[in-house]
Chains A and B, each alone.
Chain A
């Protein structure tokens, strides 16, 4: 039975240690402010700027998971291309190693000051700015972290005695158990950095020697690779290739560390014999070195690794749909060409709208993507297209191009609204369909055809054909009122009635948006065909007014 004098300081130390680490991670990023976020936008120009940005991000956040999530979000939003963005989380491992280094230093005086300042600021409720408050909480986190380590030190002697008495220490020094312990630590903490900091703490406490702690670190690195690799392979996370690259970085580091342990026959301290380092400091130095080594290997072999990631985790249809297909960087030098590509991207978005109803159509083929997925993908592409249009306009392309761009912006706004409305319509129909299947089915087929008509107008080259189809998108308020009255009688259930009512309102709204979009597309087409002067100015007045009903 373990002595009570062993359990309390151990649990207190663990609680303070992990709580402090969380405090630091949670408050450092807000402390860095918008500068850190802006950093990402310019970071991926080259592999090495991405590496530097990654190191800074890791240093600031002390959480490679947080950096990974931010990068995945930026990739998903199309703000940064996925290619070099994978290097940011990989190199954030190096920045995050600062926590491990901090833990290895003897800083009891500094810790005392940190706790005193933080405690006083919080107790006396000083009027702090938001950023200063985050700074105070970071100090509190640092103090908690080191106080936790002091408590672990207090627990270390009785713990060591207990481990020896129970024969566990001998077992605990076996490679297999140490690797398993590292795996478990990585799974619990979801952070190889915290696992590394914990390993430093136990080295300082004398529970494990340097070699054992490094074996534990190999296990933690492999565990961390699994933490990233499983969602990367299973495809549950967006930015799967970012996750897989992280896993590759962890495995590279684990391989380098294993190599070190093999070459030194499990006694890495021989390498540091010439340097005046404590075991804890040596561990921290090795930890930093393998993070740099792992990130360097992945950067140098970026090409082959990327191809391997591509084969292991090919982009799924939903992910491919969420990225623009036509918005080429190179085309920005030619505004007319760039605008043509925007038009094609908009046509691509309009083409998907009918498919958003397939989940509630009897006539649709099964196995298609859901309306929610198509909506989400469509909004991603629309956001990327909006940014592309903004870049065209930033280049001051001339009045004709500006007029065209503004028209395309109007179409894009409608496309976004259509995606939202059609998805909402589909949801309402799902609620109503079981109770009013036939009536709802007719409405769904009608809307499907109208969206196909919109698509045809966008694709058509012939103005007469467009005018003919535009007649199908005419206003029909009385028809919809009649439809609404009939539908509301289909069920007495309040929830179904509400869904039916909402679906008819959305039908009307979608029809209006479709017509407005068709008119805008037709007007943009007329402006494209208008002759221009050499300066890109229109020769004659372009607008011919909207088509009549």
Chain B
């Protein structure tokens, strides 16, 4: 799992995840995601290169969303691939963590 962080200014951070958010990927992504959620107000995550999410990976996303929500912030995912979107929709997290088709749309939602 590769993770790139970009500070977009105005308390907005973009994370780009690439790879599988399985057990190993989730372990690598846990700290960067939680740190990003702690240090910004709005977090957008590029999921275009994420081919798979496991339960643990989604839990990290949910925990980040909770942390942001406590501070009045928001987490939005964008460019989510179809297989990953199916899992996220079935899990029902899209009410808490919206999915946007592009970065621009994600920044609007956030």
Contacts and interface: CB of A to CB of B under 8 A. Distances in A.
Interface of A: 354, 361-363, 438, 442-443, 445-446, 448-450, 452-453, 464-465, 468-469, 471-474, 476, 479-480, 483, 486
B96 A445 contact: no
Nearest to B93: A472
Nearest to B66: A468
A446 B90 contact: yes
Given A471-B95, A472-B91, A472-B96, A465 B66 contact: yes
Given A363-B54, A449-B55, A472 B90 contact: no
B62 interface: yes
The contact size tier of chain B is 20 to 34
A471 B83 contact: no
A473 B54 contact: no
B59 interface: yes
Interface of B: 22-23, 53-56, 58-59, 62, 66, 69-70, 83, 86-87, 89-93, 95-96
A112 B8 CA distance: 103
Contacts of A476: 89-90, 92
A252 to B, nearest CB: 52
Given A446-B87, A479-B90, A479-B92, A472 B62 contact: yes
A307 to B, nearest CB: 41
B98 to A, nearest CB: 13
A352 to B, nearest CB: 15
Contact of A448 (B55, B86, B89, B96): B55
A446 B89 CA distance: 9
Contacts of A452: 55, 59
Contact of B69 (A445, A449, A468): A468
A185 B1 CA distance: 66
B69 to A, nearest CB: 6
Given A476-B92, A479-B90, 13 more contacts: A354-B55, A361-B55, A363-B23, A438-B83, A443-B90, A445-B54, A445-B87, A450-B91, A453-B62, A465-B66, A471-B92, A472-B93, A479-B89
A363 B87 contact: no
A353 to B, nearest CB: 12
Contact of B92 (A354, A361, A474, A486): A474
Contacts of B69: 468
A276 B58 CA distance: 85
Tell which of B66, B69, B70, B91 has the most Cβ of chain A within 10 Å.
B91
Contacts of A480: 90
Nearest to B24: A363
Contacts of B55: 354, 361, 363, 445-446, 448-449, 452
Contacts of B54: 361, 363, 445
16 contacts: A361-B54, A361-B55, A363-B22, A445-B91, A446-B90, A448-B55, A449-B58, A452-B55, A464-B70, A465-B66, A468-B66, A468-B69, A472-B92, A472-B95, A479-B90, A483-B90
Q: Report, nearest first, the 4 A-B pairs whose CB atoms are least far apart.
A: A449-B55, A446-B90, A448-B55, A363-B54
Given A438-B83, A445-B87, A468 B96 contact: yes
A474 B90 CA distance: 11
B91 A449 contact: yes
Contacts of B96: 468, 471-472
Contacts of B89: 476, 479
Contact of A449 (B23, B59, B86): B59
A473 B92 contact: yes
A132 to B, nearest CB: 61
A362 B69 CA distance: 32
A466 to B, nearest CB: 11
B84 to A, nearest CB: 9
